[in-house]
A and B are shown apart, each in its own frame.
Chain A
Amino acid sequence: MSAPEPVARRSFLATALAGLTATVLGPGIVLMAFPGEAAAAPRPASTARRWGLLIDLSRCEDGCSRCVEACSGEHGWRTDSEGASEPQWVRIVHASDEDSGRTSQFPLMCQHCAQPPCADVCPTGATFRRADGVVLVDRHRCIGCRYCVMACPFGVRFFQGDTVRDQRPHSPRGKGTAEACNLCVHRVDHGGLPACVEACSTANSAMIFGDLNDPGSPIRAALSAIPTTRLRANLALGQGVRYHGL
């Protein structure tokens, strides 16, 4: 048994304030906001949280591509293109073991490393790691050098070489910039789930999204209950994405 961690003054105050907000409009009239509603207000990225994803391959169904379709619909990249240059923020990878012949499939997207090689090599600081662990491309600074595309050990960064039209308002994408899974920060910042996780939850619930720093979160409960692994763990990149049954 380990002693419970002391609650930092700042996080205690934040929790207490987030728990209940009351506004006095006038004598006898008080507007109350309860935690459920407060969670929907956008929250800035904070080191208090570390977003992570657990993909349970024992529940991931062969032939299912709901996560891919959901991501494509959410961010506007095409799945029908055979061109090598078309980004695939998430794709289904088929792997086979040379000795046993066992085959498996798993969804592969940006692994949101704690020490991201893509951010290390970025000459302009466009690729960066947000306080809550999400690795993003700041396209305002991206010069399209593609170093990050080459540096990523997982091949999940892409260069947009074509003019993009009719982008989603929440997901700007443009010619001459790098792009990758952004863990749907536009949803997560408002307390929502990434589109792939939401789509998966309607079928097999193979994806669990949550705060790795929160001992009470479902993802922490799952991580302590089942064995999980990171891709290419020998690189010690501290990815936020973990797999079970790989």
Chain B
Amino acid sequence: MGPLTTAVAVVAMAVFFISGFGEGRSSDNAQPAVTSATTGPCLLPAPDMRRRHKDLLFEERTKAVRQGDRNPEASLSRCITCHAVFDEAAQPIAYDDERHFCRACHLQVAVAPDCFTCHRSTPVMPVTPIQTGGTQ
């Protein structure tokens, strides 16, 4: 096989993967319907929070539980307070409901977090607006 044939084959494969798989991924990767936080800003910009929220939660939980090193701004209850979703009766929606902020995405990616077997998934009413020192 000559170098020209190889080059053509490589270009053809590249076009196939970029066009075919790219289109397929973009249509399968539609964002679920998620209710935006009512207060803000969050700890990190939204794309970083989507990718890193689990790592942040794990780090903060270990520090808080094992060392007593508490950071209320990065606690799960703070997440729950800002990202509360309310129903028609203005009551916060629990994780049992598919409209819950965490559940909306986790349902789509088929990941079941076990946070809410022990932690409360709704804020205690009435919710007071919170302003944090984070970005965005």
Residues on A facing B (Cβ under 8 Å): 42-45, 128, 130-132, 134, 136, 138-140, 163-164, 166-170, 172-177, 185-186, 189-190
Contact = CB atoms under 8 A, between A and B. Distances in A.
B65 interface: yes
Interface residues of B, number: 19
B38 to A, nearest CB: 17
A88 B61 CA distance: 25
B77 A170 contact: yes
B61 A140 contact: yes
A172 B69 contact: no
Contacts of A167: 118-120
B70 A189 contact: yes
Contacts of B119: 167, 172, 174
A47 B33 CA distance: 48
Contacts of A42: 68-72
Nearest to B66: A138
Interface in B103-120: 117-120
Contacts of A140: 61-62, 65
29 contacts: A42-B68, A42-B72, A43-B68, A44-B63, A44-B67, A44-B68, A44-B69, A45-B67, A45-B68, A45-B69, A128-B66, A130-B68, A131-B68, A140-B61, A140-B62, A164-B118, A166-B120, A167-B120, A168-B120, A169-B120, A172-B118, A173-B118, A174-B119, A175-B117, A176-B117, A177-B118, A186-B70, A189-B68, A190-B70
Contacts of B62: 140
Q: Which 5 pairs between the two chains have the least Cβ-Cβ distance?
A: A174-B118, A45-B68, A44-B69, A172-B118, A42-B70
